[in-house]
Amino acid sequence: MNIDSYRDMLETVQAFHAKHRFRETGGEELTYRVALMTEELGEISACVTKGKSNEKLAEECADLFILLLGTAIAADFDLRQAFWDKMKKVESRESRMVNGRIRVSEFRDT
């Protein structure tokens, strides 16, 4: 196993899903997965706002990453390809300062 391999990470999460029978027991239902990701975002936010350690923040980010990989498995899409497709789009976007912070987005002047 190559710890830096996307394929190995994906296979590890897939094995975790199979071990716990996620597909058969509702663990791959997308609304449920969104709720879990929202929960993890809240835990990431708590790490930042409450000054928790970088180790705890890394752990919570890893939880979210695992959920993202699992969502790609559940919804049957290639997250790696989606990443590169999206990066191609965002790399061509302009940035602006919004409320004192840099923002890269599809700005629409209305």
Q: Are 39 and 46 in contact (CB under 8 A)?
A: no
> What CATH number does residue 79 fall under?
1.10.287.1080
Q: What pLDDT digit, counting tens, does each position of 16-53 carry? A: 999 999 999 999 999 999 999 999 999 999 999 999 99
Provide the token pair at 2.
Answer: 């190559």
| Portion of the chain with pLDDT greater than 70, in percent | 99
CB hemisphere CA count around 81 (13 angstroms): 4
pTM: 0.87
Query: What is the extent of the structural domain holding 66?
Result: 6-104
In a domain, 110, yes or no: no
In a domain, 1, yes or no: no
- For the chain, the domain total comes to 1
- pLDDT given at position 110: 61
